[in-house]
Structure 1
Amino acid sequence: MRNLFDPSYSRRKFLFTAGATAATSILLKGCLGNPPESTKSGTSSNPSTGTTANLTAETTPETTSAKLGFIPIFEAAPLIIAKEKGFFAKYGMTEVDVSKQANWGSARDNVEIGSVAGGIDGGQWQMPMPYLISEGLITKNNAKIPMYVLAMLNTQGNGIAIAKSQEGKGISLDMSKAKDYIAGLKKAGKPFRAAYTFPKVNQDFWLRYWLAAGGINPDTDVNLLTVPAAQTVANMKTGTMEGFSTGDPWPARIVGEGIGFMAALTAQIWPFHPEEYFAMRADWVDKNPKATKALLKGIMEAQQWCDKKENRPEMAQILSNAKYYNVPVKILEPMLLGTYIMGDNQPGIEDFQKAAMYWKSPRGSVSYPYKSLDLWFLTESVRWGFLPPSTLENNAKALIAKVNRSDIWKEAAKEAGIPAADIPTNDSRGVEKFFDGKVFDPENPKAYLDSLAIKKV
């Protein structure tokens, strides 16, 4: 099989392949409407830091505005910091609106209608939401809204929180110790209830992987629920669920409020795993290629700022604002520094390498949207029956080639003066290893599926 991530396997060849695939391939929209009027070259000022970027005819954005959505979890930090620290403005995007979304369903609905109808142009997404939206699998009337994945926002920063009523039951990273207990709950007619914030994406996958690694079938042995991130703490208090998977800071809040404990961090399940992504409507990007790169440059600078440990206290102050997370700094700051109180007699964690990272990790670039990681999400979707097995056999390459725009990331990075050493030359991050010993080789996703005992495919 030809190496999907070999740079010599050009985007043009991918697009040719896409045109030859079945009708389920994503249809990309071209530019909509008339070309925007050209803007004058000049200097854009950063109102927060005072730095400027010299804009030329090649880098002056076609528009100064964009509407981006976010969910109040650590994954959104680069978007918020880029706005608050003036990094968007530095590159000419002086009117970027970063707006809180009620939940993931609202974000999907808002990107479906777009900013022209009062929605959003893009923003923060769990994976593989941009693919599902592009394919019309989670949109109204199955409308296909082509999206482009432009950057990964962060790695890690998620956890699995468990209600206090479940202390002493062996619920921890290794769920094999709690397998009999979980089976007993089901037999008694009171199955363990675990929630995620949106089905068939990141946080659903983390729960499923964690349970299945311990020999527990997430589709038959427990009840899985969808609960918006901001409601998870309240629902845990009222006893409507025993566990949930979501991004920081929500898991830590149940520890801080004495209503639960942390069973595992996703950083333990899959160290330096892909978390959430920056993606935009394809028609907006096609119409505004220079503005897209300006947004990316602002996000990249924000990610570098976020990654500095000395900036994390200020970061906590910014994120705590009511219009963003509305969570006390004392809850946010410890997690941003890698301090986690686990509870239920588990040792605490004080390790900055376990915290959310935004620019670099021991696995290399965090911001770069590796296509091999997209392939894992599609493979896991096949594992649980969310996508047909033919996805991997027939059109995964075409889907990834059309949705993942790592080429735009590279262009933006070069324009921003990112050192060549920090710009990946390969779209594969290589072999991925999980806490239970399983291995995902992007050159052979079928071998990964075959190695998994619990699956639907």
Structure 2
Amino acid sequence: MNITSSPPERTHLRLGFVALSDAAPLAVAALRELGARHGIAIELCRQPSWAAVRDKLLSGEIDAAHALYGLVYGVQLGIGGPQADMAVLMVLNRNGQAITLSRPLADAIRGGASVKDALRTLERKPVIAQTFPTGTHAMWLYYWLAAHGVHPLRDVQSVVIPPPRMADALVEGALDGFCAGEPWHAVAEARNAGGTVAYTSEIWPDHPEKVLACRRDFAALYPATARALVRTMLDACAWLDSTAHRTEIVQALASETLLGVPSRLIEPRLVAADGGAARALPVRFFDGGAVNYPRVSDGLWFITQYRRWGLLDADIDDAGIAASVNQTALYRDAAQAAGVALPAERHAATFCDARVWDGGDAAAYLAGFEMRA
């Protein structure tokens, strides 16, 4: 029997997610029962925070999850919590995140003030939230602040808050800003608590964001199941390439069981490019498979940032770690069976500070940063 046609060892899978618009592929897969043709059924399990996603992945209460790319690497490296061998099965989306600051700060920046000068008007350390200590949002926020001459560890108080709490905390005055996913920036603007000042696609155009993650032993014990899950999610991501389909899934995402946010606040930044902002790139889910390949260099980039900000100083094989986490062989098997094209292994990206990352020389790349921990 061809390995890619082996029946899944597990047929019922519990998938964790946090209330964010980019959980759309999981919603599509479950609601449209896309796993049926691949021999699996999906049960969605909403989680209150990324810490809960981590804990339930580790305990086995959920089998896989919509997860922050950096969450997977933080657990793999044992940074700030339990260590476990983790697996990135595929990328679920690119772009679609943002940085929102309180209304006075956002107005000052829109009026021409630099980010550094605007934050100095507070005459105290700004309190800016992200969603997980090693997560994507922490890394986008730190990179953006540093690019604007603001040290993210010394000049700012960075705190962790679950995404659904962001807008409330900004309204209450507990925060001066936050970096998270949608629809919470749209919610903050609708409540007149803040304004979006940067889109993460401006920091790293077409950056990887959420991934399909599981423990590595799950992928090893149930490889046919993992491949079936990847094929199901590729089908869901491809379905989301249609504007009409995105508009359709917004109604489901608005439900209390998924996001619990009015569809009018979800739709603009999911269907269009972050509400039609000229400088933002749209959230991407598939694009013929260009979105989904778990490129090892993407994982390695997160490790460079952990070293940059003092979260990691161990003498380990960074590239080897990334190669073990990102399940490129499993993904290739699933994608080839599905007829999905595989992109190039190497890809150069130019960041907002004009630095270029291609995964080639991580040590030299890291040494080139003037602002570090």
Name which of structure 1's ranges 283-292 and 125-134 shifts more when overlaid on structure 2: 125-134
* Residue 427, structure 1, aligned to residue 349, structure 2: no
The answer on whether the counterparts of 2:70 and 2:302 sit within 8 Å (CA) in structure 1 is yes
User: How much has 1:339 moved relative to structure 2?
Assistant: 4.9
1:182-331 equivalence runs, <5 A: 182-185=119-122, 188=123, 190-331=124-265
What per-residue deviation string (whole Å, max 9, x for no partner) do you get for residues 115-172 of structure 1? xxxx112211112222332343344xx4x32211110010001011111132432269
SS of corresponding position for 2:159: strand
* Residue 415, structure 1, aligned to residue 343, structure 2: no
Q: Distance in 1 between matches of 2:254 and 2:121?
A: 41
Alignment correspondent of 2:287: 360
* Residue 152, structure 1, aligned to residue 80, structure 2: no
Note the residue ranges of structure 2 that are not aligned, 5 or more in a row.
none
The answer on whether the counterparts of 1:74 and 1:356 sit within 8 Å (CA) in structure 2 is no
Q: Distance in 2 between matches of 1:244 and 1:220?
A: 17
Alignment correspondent of 2:20: 73
Q: Please, which of 29, 33, 56 is the counterpart of residue 86 of structure 1? A: 33
Q: Distance in 1 between matches of 2:273 and 2:190?
A: 13
Q: Please, which of 277, 281, 289 is the counterpart of residue 349 of structure 1? A: 277
Alignment correspondent of 2:362: 445
Name which of structure 1's ranges 256-265 and 128-137 shifts more when overlaid on structure 2: 128-137
User: How much has 1:417 moved relative to structure 2?
Assistant: 2.9
User: How much has 1:184 moved relative to structure 2?
Assistant: 4.8
The answer on whether the counterparts of 1:69 and 1:122 sit within 8 Å (CA) in structure 2 is yes
Percent identity over the alignment is: 30
The answer on whether the counterparts of 2:106 and 2:197 sit within 8 Å (CA) in structure 1 is no
* Residue 127, structure 1, aligned to residue 69, structure 2: yes
AA aligned opposite 2:295? Y
* Residue 179, structure 1, aligned to residue 116, structure 2: yes
Note the residue ranges of structure 1 that are not aligned, 5 or more in a row.
1-40, 42-54, 342-347
The answer on whether the counterparts of 1:183 and 1:221 sit within 8 Å (CA) in structure 2 is no
Q: Please, which of 130, 137, 161 is the counterpart of residue 79 of structure 2? A: 137
AA aligned opposite 1:72? A
User: How much has 1:451 moved relative to structure 2?
Assistant: 2.6
AA aligned opposite 2:287? K
Q: Distance in 2 between matches of 1:85 and 1:212?
A: 43
What per-residue deviation string (whole Å, max 9, x for no partner) do you get for residues 345-379 of structure 1? xxx6158x722101128xx7101101111111111
Normalised by the size of structure 2, how large is the TM-score? 0.93
Q: Distance in 2 between matches of 1:299 and 1:138?
A: 30
AA aligned opposite 1:271? P
AA aligned opposite 1:148? A
AA aligned opposite 2:305? E
Q: Distance in 2 between matches of 1:446 and 1:147?
A: 24
Q: Distance in 2 between matches of 1:97 and 1:414?
A: 26
AA aligned opposite 1:177? S
AA aligned opposite 1:380? Q
Normalised by the size of structure 1, how large is the TM-score? 0.77
Q: Distance in 1 between matches of 2:225 and 2:371?
A: 45
After superposition, the Cα gap between the structure-2 partners of 1:288 and 1:222, relative to the gap in structure 1 and judged at 3 Å, is: same
The answer on whether the counterparts of 2:205 and 2:349 sit within 8 Å (CA) in structure 1 is no
Alignment correspondent of 1:108: 54
The answer on whether the counterparts of 1:70 and 1:76 sit within 8 Å (CA) in structure 2 is yes
What per-residue deviation string (whole Å, max 9, x for no partner) do you get for residues 254-287 of structure 1? 1122221110111122110111111111222222
What per-residue deviation string (whole Å, max 9, x for no partner) do you get for residues 223-257 of structure 1? 11111101001101100011000001111111122
Q: Distance in 2 between matches of 1:334 and 1:200?
A: 29
User: How much has 1:384 moved relative to structure 2?
Assistant: 0.6
Q: Distance in 2 between matches of 1:406 and 1:152?
A: 11
Q: Which aligned runs of 4 or more in structure 1 are off by greater than 4 angstroms?
A: none
The answer on whether the counterparts of 1:197 and 1:227 sit within 8 Å (CA) in structure 2 is yes
1:11-50 equivalence runs, <5 A: none
SS of corresponding position for 1:160: strand
AA aligned opposite 1:313? T
How many residue pairs match? The answer is 373
After superposition, the Cα gap between the structure-2 partners of 1:135 and 1:339, relative to the gap in structure 1 and judged at 3 Å, is: closer
Larger radius of gyration, structure 1 or 2? 1
The answer on whether the counterparts of 1:441 and 1:448 sit within 8 Å (CA) in structure 2 is no
Q: Please, which of 274, 298, 301 is the counterpart of residue 376 of structure 1? A: 301
SS of corresponding position for 2:108: coil
AA aligned opposite 1:73? L
Q: Distance in 2 between matches of 1:138 and 1:191?
A: 23
Q: Distance in 1 between matches of 2:222 and 2:164?
A: 33
